Structures are given as C-alpha cells and as structure tokens.
Homo-oligomer: A and B are copies of this chain.
Amino acid sequence: MEKAKRPPRGTRKRDVPLTEAGIYAAALQLIDADGVEALTMRKLATVLDANPMSLYHHVPNKDALLRGVARMVGAQFRTVTLEDSPWQERIRLLATDFRTLAHRHPKLMAYSFGQPDFIQSEDPFWAALTATLDSAGVPHAEVPQIAAVMCAVVIGVLTAELNGALHQWSNLTPPAPAARENRPPDTDAGPDGDRMFRLVLDTIITGLESRLTADRDGQRAGQ
C-alpha cells in the first residue's frame, strides 16, 4: 500500500511546490481555454492540485494574479528594433507584432486591452513607438499624444477583431434576418481581419504623413 496517494499516471500535476511562475502559467492555460471571466482561484487551485488558500502565499489576490499573467505575456513582446528602416515600416512592424501577440492569447489580451496600465513607460514597445514617431519628425511635445491615440486606435481594432465585432459588423448591412444566429465568436483570424487591419494601418500612416508635410509646409513653405 506504500503511500497509495498518487493516482495511476500523470493525472497529478504537482509533485513540485507551488511557484509564482507556475501559478501564472497554469492561470494562462485556463484563460486561453475559457477566458478571463471563467478563471477562478478555486479552479486554478484544483488544476494545480493545491488548496485554494495555498495560492495566497504566492500571489496577494486575484487582481494581482491577472496583472502578473498579463505582465508575463507582455514580456514576450520584444519587438525587433529595425533601426534603419523608414518610420512607416517600423510603425507597421510594431503594429503587426502587437497583433501577433493578440492572436496568440486572444482571451487574455481582450482583457488586458481594457486595463489602462497595460502600457507602461518602461515597455520597450512604448519606447520603440515614441522613438519612431520622433524620428518621423513629429514635434517632440506631440509625440506622447500621437502615440497614445495610435495605441487606442490599434487596440480598438484588435479588440473588435478578437471579440468578433469586426466580423459581425462587416456582415450587417443586408437585413439578413434568417442568417445563422449566434455563430461562435469566430476569432476572425481569416483574411478579413488581415485586410481590415492593414486598411486601418494604411489610413493612419497616410494621415500622419499628410499631417507632417502640412506642418512643414506651414513652417517653411515647401520641402
């Protein structure tokens, strides 16, 4: 009978002590599978084969847990700096990297996008974005505002893509009352999403370009 506690085969996750990182990793799995709103301290403990209260020895509370998971995933987002390309190219790369990350963990990112502290001063992403706008010739004083609205725009489009709104709205105009209802969220990873994301990107880059040349024309008439 010796011990007799361990179930037959690998059904037991934890022969290993609890870790902050381990908790985050397990939480991320649950979130990827069922979404942030389905994550529960108690479910998470079950998955980790631990007592729910044990988690509180490694994480202060559920909110900190979510922030921790978000920070962990965000850290994967090291963008290639691509120092010697034109600013348009660099912005495009930043945005598509962002989108790639969003597609890798859609449920988590749909939540993270709603948190104002999702972007921090220290983020290499923010540094890269502001540096790029700077090198594009955006007046220093305006760089943070322009960067902020660009983030808001990109996050808005990604959110709408992730929760299916973009897809749903695109198929709206025909009354289509008998169309199949409540189709699954339909991550919209297809070519539609790609096209529409590029459309937005092109538009804001074009808009920025024309704004910059207008500024220059205003200052020294030409060039």
Residues on A lying within 8 angstroms of B by beta carbon are: 114, 116-121, 126, 130, 143-149, 151-157, 159-161, 163-166, 168-176, 185, 192, 195-196, 199-200, 202-204, 206-208, 210-211
Residues of B within 8 A of A208 (CB): 203
Name A211's closest neighbour in chain B (CB-CB): B203
Contact in complex: A152, B148 (CB < 8 Å): no
Main secondary structure of the interface of A (DSSP, over half): helix
Shortest Cβ gap from A197 to chain B (Å) = 9
Q: How many copies does the complex hold?
A: 2
A143 touches B173 (CB 8 A): yes
CB-CB nearest in chain B for A192: B145
A148 B166 Cβ-Cβ under 8 A: yes
A82 to B192, CA, bound (A): 32
Please indicate the chain B residues that have their CB under 8 angstroms from the CB of A145 in the complex. Answer: 170, 192, 195-196, 199
Name the B residues within 8 Å of A211 (CB-CB): 203
Residues from chain B with a CB closer than 8 A to the CB of A151 are 160, 165, 169
The winner among A170, A203, A210 for most chain B CB atoms within 10 A is A203
Residues of B within 8 A of A195 (CB): 145
In the complex, what residue of chain B is closest to A174 when comparing beta carbons?
B121
CA distance A152 to B156 in the complex (A): 5
In the bound complex, CA of A151 to CA of B176 (Å): 20
**CA A143 to CA B192, docked complex, whole Å:** 14
A204 to B126 Cα, complex, angstroms = 23
Residues of B within 8 A of A114 (CB): 114, 159, 163
Smallest Cβ distance from A204 to chain B, in angstroms?
6
Chain B residues lying within 8 Å of A143, measured Cβ to Cβ, are 173
Residues of B within 8 A of A159 (CB): 114, 152, 156, 159
A164, B148: Cα distance in complex, Å: 11
**Which residue of the partner chain B has the closest CB to A195?**
B145
Contact pick for A169, options B144, B165, B200, CB 8 Å: B144
